[in-house]
Chains A and B, each alone.
Chain A
Amino acid sequence: MAVTLAPGRTALPRRPRQDTRRFSPGRIAAWIYLGVIVLATLFPFYWILRTALSNNYKLATDPSSPLPVGFTWGAFERALGIASTAEAQAQGGSGASLDIALYLRNSLIYASVQTALIVLFSACAAYAFSRLHWRGRDLVFNVLISALMVPGVFTLLPNFVLVKDLGLTNTFAGLILPGGLFQAFTLFFLRQFMLGLSSEVEEAAIIDGAGPLRIFLRIILPMSSAPLATVSLLMFVNAWNDYFWPLLITNGQNVQPLTLALGVFKQSSPQAAPDWAGLMAAALIAALPMLLLFIAFGKRVVNSIGFSGLK
C-alpha cells in the first residue's frame, strides 16, 4: 500500500491542514504510484506510434531508440495497401497486402448496424417492460434476464451451427443478427433507467388520448437520450473489438472485420521476421476510431462505466 502518513501526526501541534495534506510522504508516494500507472498505461500506445513510423529493416539496428528508427510513412502505406510490393519489401514488409479500407468498411457496417439494431430493439422492449402494464410482464422480463447467467462462449458453438444451417455463414446477416436482436445487458440497463422516469408527462399525454406507441416515440425516447447514447457507445466499442464470433462466421475479406485481418496480417510471414512496423500501423488505424470516439464522448464513457457497474 502506498498511502501512509507521518507517524505521530496527532501529537504535533495543529498546522494549517493545507500543508500536511500537500506534502506528506503518503501523498508523494500516491503521486509516484499514479505516475507509474499512467506511464504503464500510455507507454504501449506511444510504442505503437513509434514503431509504426519506423523503417522495419532498420528497427533491428536500434531497437530501444525512443524515437522512430529511420522515420518513414512506409508502414502506413503498406497497411493501407498503397505501397507497391517492391517498396514494401525494401522496407522489410512481407509484400502481403492488406486491403485495410475494405476491412474498415466491414468493421463499420458490423459495429454500426449491430449497435443501431440492438439499441432500438432493447429500447422498445425496455419501454414495454417498464412503462406498460400487462399480465406476466415481470415474469417474461426475468426469463429474458436469465441470459446474463449463461457465459457468452457457451452459445457460440451452437449458434455457429445454427447460422451454418441457415446458410448465413460469411454474410453480414449471420454476423449481426445473433447480437443485434437481444442482449440482456442493454435491455436491463435501459429498463432500469425508464423505471425511474416520472410519470407526470406520460399521464398528461394519456389524458390527451395518446396511445402507448405515441408516448414511447414522443416522450419516453427523447427523455432517455442520455442512456441511449451511453449504451450505443458501449455496444459500438464491443462490436468494433469483437473477435471470436467473426472468427467463426466469416472467412472472406468481403465480410471480415479489421480485428481478424490484423491476425491474418501477422501470420502472413511466419518464417521471416514479422513486419512489426506494418502491424503497428495497422493496429493504430484499427484503434483510431475508438480513440476518436473517446475523445468526443470521453466523459460519457467514463461516467457510464460507473453507472453500468452499480447494478
Chain B
Amino acid sequence: MVVTSQGNPTTPVPPPSAAVATTATRPGRPRTVRKPGRHTPTRSAAARRRDLPAALLLIFPAVAGFAVFFAYPTLRGIYLSFTDFHVLTPPHWVGLANFREMSGDDVFWHSLLVTVYFVVLSVCFGTLISLVTAVVLHRVARSSVLRGVILLPFLISNVIAALVWQWMLDPQLGVVNIVLRHLTGHSILFFGSGGWAIPSLAAISVWKWMGYYALLIFAGLQTIPPTIYEAGRVDGASEVQMFRRLTVPLLRPILVMVVVLTVINSFQVFDIVQVTTRGGPANASNVLQMYIFDKAFRQFDFGYAATLSLALFALLITVTFTQLRLARAGESDLN
C-alpha cells in the first residue's frame, strides 16, 4: 500500500536534537538547533584564542582518562597478544605463536560456537518480543506505569537476575520445574544439561533486557507521525498490514540499533554464566568471555587471553560493520 502524505514524512533517522526535544527536555522551551562546528558570527578570532586555555583545562581529565585507561590499554592489549605473559615475569615476544595456538584450540572454537548460539537466541527472541511489546504499548496501552513495570528487570544487576532464575529453575525446588512436573511429569535440568544451558542463559538475558529495548523501540514509534496510520486506515489496511508495511520499515534504523546493541552485549556475556554454570556442564556454556577469564585468572596465561580478546574484538567490529552495511543497503524502501 502507498502512504500518501502531504509535504514530506519525517526522515527515518530522526536528528538527535529533534529526538531530544520530544523526550528528554521540558517541552515549550525555545531551542535553536545549531550545526556542530559552526562558529557563531559574533565570535571573533580573538575570542577563539581566549577560549583555548579554558578548553584545554576543561578537557584535561577526560583526555587523561582516555589516554591512560583506554588508548594505552587498547594498544597494550594488542601488543600482549603477540607475547608470552604470565603476569609475574615481563612479557616476551613470541610473534604469532598465540594465534597459531588459537587456530588449533578446540576449546576456543567450541566456545565461539556456543557464544554465537547464545547471540542468535538472544537477538531473535529479544528483538521480536521487544518489538511486539513496544507496538502493543504504543497502539493499545499507552501507560507510563506499564512502561515503568517492564523496565524493572533492567534495574537489577545481572548477578541478581541470574540468581533468581537459577532458584526458579532449580531441578528439585524450582517453581518452574514444579509446574513442569505437574504438566508433563518430567522436570528439566536447565543448567545441568548441555542442551538446556545456553537457552536458559539466553532466557535470563532476554528477560533482563527486553524492557529496555522495548522502550527504545517505543521511543522510535513516538517519532512516527500518527497521520501515517490515519492514511493507512483510510486505505483500508488492517493492523497487521500496517505493522508490516508501515511500522517495521519506518522503524528500521531503531531496529538495526537494537539488534547491533544486542549483538554487542550478547557477545560479551559473562556475569550470568559466572554466577550460574561457570561454563559447564562440560563446556556446554563456556562462552568466549568465560574462557578468556579462565585463561587469564585461573591459568595466568595473559598473553593467550589477550589474543582471545583481540579475536573477540575483531569479530565484534566485523559483525557490527556488516550489520550497519546491510541495514544501509535496505534503506531505500523508506520514502
Q: CB within 8 Å of B: which residues of A?
A: 1-5, 9-10, 26-27, 30-31, 33-34, 37-38, 40-42, 44-45, 47-48, 51, 59-60, 63-64, 121-122, 124-125, 127-130, 132-135, 137-138, 140, 143-144, 147, 149-159, 161-162, 164, 177-182, 187, 192-193, 195-199, 203, 206, 211-213, 216, 226-227, 230, 237, 240-244, 247-248, 259, 262-263, 266, 276, 279-280, 283, 286-287, 290-291, 293-294, 298-299, 301-307, 309-311
Contact = CB atoms under 8 A, between A and B. Distances in A.
A133 B152 contact: no
A196 B267 CA distance: 35
Contacts of A263: 159, 274-275
B94 interface: no
A92 B212 CA distance: 37
Contact of B175 (A63, A178, A259): A63
B235 to A, nearest CB: 10
Interface string B278-313: 000000000001001000110000100110011011
29 contacts: A4-B238, A33-B136, A37-B150, A41-B149, A41-B153, A64-B179, A121-B65, A125-B63, A128-B55, A134-B52, A147-B66, A150-B313, A156-B309, A181-B68, A182-B65, A226-B25, A241-B157, A243-B159, A263-B274, A279-B163, A287-B156, A287-B157, A294-B155, A306-B24, A306-B220, A307-B23, A309-B216, A310-B14, A311-B16
Interface string B43-62: 10001101110110111011
Given A64-B175, A276-B167, A294 B152 contact: yes
The majority secondary structure among interface residues of chain A is helix
Given A5-B238, A40-B207, A144-B66, A280 B309 contact: no
Given A33-B132, A128-B58, A134-B52, A144 B63 contact: yes
B118 interface: no
Nearest to A63: B173
Contact of A133 (B23, B43, B159): B43
A3 B178 contact: no
A144 B62 CA distance: 9
A140 B59 contact: yes
A298 B149 CA distance: 10
B96 interface: no
B77 A158 contact: yes
Contact of B36 (A128, A138, A294): A138
B4 interface: no
A98 to B, nearest CB: 13
Contact of A37 (B17, B133, B170, B296): B133
B24 A227 contact: yes
Contacts of B55: 128, 132, 134, 137, 212
Contact of A306 (B47, B65, B133, B216): B216
Contacts of B155: 237, 287, 290-291, 293-294, 301
Contacts of B292: 153, 157
B229 to A, nearest CB: 13
Ranked 6 nearest A-B pairs via Cβ: A181-B65, A306-B219, A182-B65, A241-B157, A158-B73, A310-B19
Given A121-B61, A263-B274, 11 more contacts: A3-B243, A132-B54, A132-B55, A134-B48, A147-B70, A152-B268, A196-B20, A262-B163, A266-B163, A309-B215, A311-B257
A47 B140 contact: no
Given A206-B47, A243-B271, A1 B132 contact: yes
Nearest to B214: A37
B67 to A, nearest CB: 9
